[in-house]
Amino acid sequence: MIGEDDELGAVTGVQFEHGPGPYVLVGHSLGGAYVRRFAQRFPGEVAALLLLEPLHEDWDAFMPEHLRLGTTRPSDAPLPEPTPEIIAHVRRNFAQQLAAWPDPIREQLIDQHTTPDGLLAGLREGRNISAMLSELRTGGEVPDVPLIVMGATAFDPGQQMFQSDADLREQIDATQRLYRAVAAAAPQGEYRVLADAAHTTIPMERPDAVADAIADLLEPVRR
């Protein structure tokens, strides 16, 4: 978590390697919460925001009770052990999503993300969700910068392992209402929906849409 007394250089060293800010920040899922918290802490360093299916502090307000965060992912619940069946399922899905990628990179990514430790890493990081959302609620305003919120409406193969199709449809419908509201609440906000991508697959299945959104956000910044 970003502490109140942290300096920008202690939070990220990228400013020295990739030039001075402000930056166009892209956050996916939990990363969407991270970049918005960064924007709260360092508003002058943010030129624009692209949020891909972001976690948001108003999630529970838009979800039916059985899909709220406290119901679906209690922070003190033991982490599930990835079984060989789960690992094989994830590996097949990941290989399919990366089918067009060059061989050396594709195989490295598949191997890295489908080991038991790789699968558990995301679950471990998810234990920060409650604390992160609390920080966002009390962290002040996000700066008035160009914002694109991107939602996906296809079923997510990974989520289908743990949720029924009926629950997933409810969740997708609710998240689209949430993301529309988030974009509408921002003076420079825009909502875009991708019917041919799922929550975890946006960067892999629709990199063109992500690149187009970044280009659109850069246009007013470069004027």
Mean pLDDT of the region 20-36: 93
Cβ atoms 151, 171 nearer than 8 A: no
Reported as a pLDDT band with limits 50, 70 and 90, residue 113 is confident
Q: Prior bond to 220 cis, omega within 30?
A: no
At 125-137, the pLDDT tens digits run 777 788 899 999 9
- 3-class secondary structure, 47: strand
**Alpha-carbon torsion, ordered 71, 32, 212, 112, to 10 deg:** -80
DSSP 8-state class, residue 67 = G
Give the whole-angstrom CA distance, residue 158 versus residue 24. Answer: 29
Pairing of strands 147-152, 23-28: unpaired
Reply yes or no on whether the pLDDT at 17 is more than 80: no
For position 80, what pLDDT does the model report?
A: 67
Query: Mean pLDDT across the chain, nearest whole number?
Result: 86
Phi, psi of 32 (to 5 degrees): -65, -35
**CA distances from residue 51 to 22, 104, 202 in whole angstroms, order as listed:** 17, 29, 11
Amino acid letter, residue 130: S
For position 5, what pLDDT does the model report?
A: 44
Question: Pick from 167, 181, 195, 202: which is nearest to 53 by CA?
Answer: 202
Which structure tokens are listed for 37?
Answer: 């918290």
Which structure tokens are listed for 47?
Answer: 């030129």
Reported as a pLDDT band with limits 50, 70 and 90, residue 104 is confident
Give the whole-angstrom CA distance, residue 221 versus residue 223. Answer: 6
Reported as a pLDDT band with limits 50, 70 and 90, residue 73 is low
For position 15, what pLDDT does the model report?
A: 56
Sign of CA dihedral 51, 64, 67, 206: negative
Complete domains list, the chain, with CATH = 21-79+135-222 (3.40.50)
Give the whole-angstrom CA distance, residue 39 versus residue 187. Answer: 15
Mean pLDDT of the region 62-71: 88
Rg over alpha carbons for the chain, rounded to the nearest Å, is 18
